[in-house]
Amino acid sequence: MPRRIEILVFPDAQLLDATGPAQVFASANEMALRSAHLEKGPLYEIALVAEMAEVTTNSGIALRCALLSENRPAPDTAIAVGGSGVNAACSRPALIDWVRDRAIHARRMASVCSGAFLLAQAGLLDGRRAVTHWHRYDEFAGRFPQVRLERDPIFVNDGNIWTSAGVTAGIDLALAMVEEDHGRTLALAVARELVVFLKRPGGQSQFSAPLRLQTADDRFSDLHAWISANLTRPLTLDTLADRAGMSLRSFARHYRQRTGRTPAEAVEIIRLERAQGLLETGSSVEVTARKCGFGSTETMRRVFLRRLGVGPKDWQERFHD
């Protein structure tokens, strides 16, 4: 029997939150068919569900849906999407009841983007690790302090509850589900068909180092670009303050106020991201440590372990083709 996937949508939902994962599962069916794996039918049966038969997303595109009120067996996997209409959706008892019911009866319960608000409203994320769109991190943390919310990951899997970061991260989440269900070979074939990366791991940041360090006034964007181009230099606080044209004390204070991080943390984040990229393209650990300005392989190893939970060699083994 195919694994049934139900994707919950609502007025002003984010279109790609729903169609991105749906296409991953649909492409898995197509890839398996091409590989002659579909001897007994498709791997997945995909359905959009909602309170009404037609839902208009925040892009203005309408989606035809099965009704929540229809009596049907629980799916293998239930996914709640996000979007600008999610706060209104959280006040809809029928939607929250659906989330709670599916969490009990489905093998996996998941959310994409701000769909995590629906799971949290239903009480499913209390005490669990979770992630949502970075732009709504503070709002979510304020409303649901009992959730162990993380800022950076692409997706988080805590037991049978999966949550993903913003919009396209739902594709990463769905690919990980296909890999869990049917193996890496099929998931990789789907990723190649959709021209996306399979290897973007759940623990990888949902945005690059420069974007993480970006601020509303973009005061230090030139400094970040300079740091990226000069990683082998001794990037001391004095050097950075001089480059920013500020006194040491003023620079340290203003930088933290605007980015939420110390200058030393920023340098480490940029060095780490460069090291990840070099290792993924086959650079040796020793060369990578030197090119990224870590000073020694041991220093780089400690940074990897602290920020990513794995060492450089393990990272390379996992993500280098």
Which pair of structure tokens corresponds to residue 27? 């492409």
Choice among 65, 90, 113, 292 that is catalytic: 113
Please state the pTM of the whole predicted model.
0.69
Cα 8–chain centre separation: 19
121 with 90: CB under 8 angstroms?
yes
Is 113 a residue of the active site? yes
Query: How far from 58 is each of 15, 78, 119, 187, CA to CA, in Å?
Result: 7, 21, 20, 29
Which pair of structure tokens corresponds to residue 97? 């009841």
Which H or E run contains 313? helix 312-319
DSSP H stretches of helix in 198-284: 209-212, 221-229, 237-244, 248-259, 263-280
Cα 207–chain centre separation: 9
Q: How confident is the prediction along the chain (321 residues), in pLDDT tens digits per residue?
A: 899 999 999 999 999 999 999 999 999 999 888 876 555 679 999 999 999 999 999 999 999 999 998 878 899 999 999 999 999 999 999 999 999 999 999 999 999 999 999 999 999 999 999 999 988 988 999 999 999 998 878 899 999 999 999 888 999 999 999 999 999 889 888 988 888 866 554 455 555 566 566 654 568 888 998 999 999 999 999 999 999 999 999 999 999 988 888 999 999 999 998 998 899 888 999 999 999 999 999 999 999 998 887 899 988 887 665
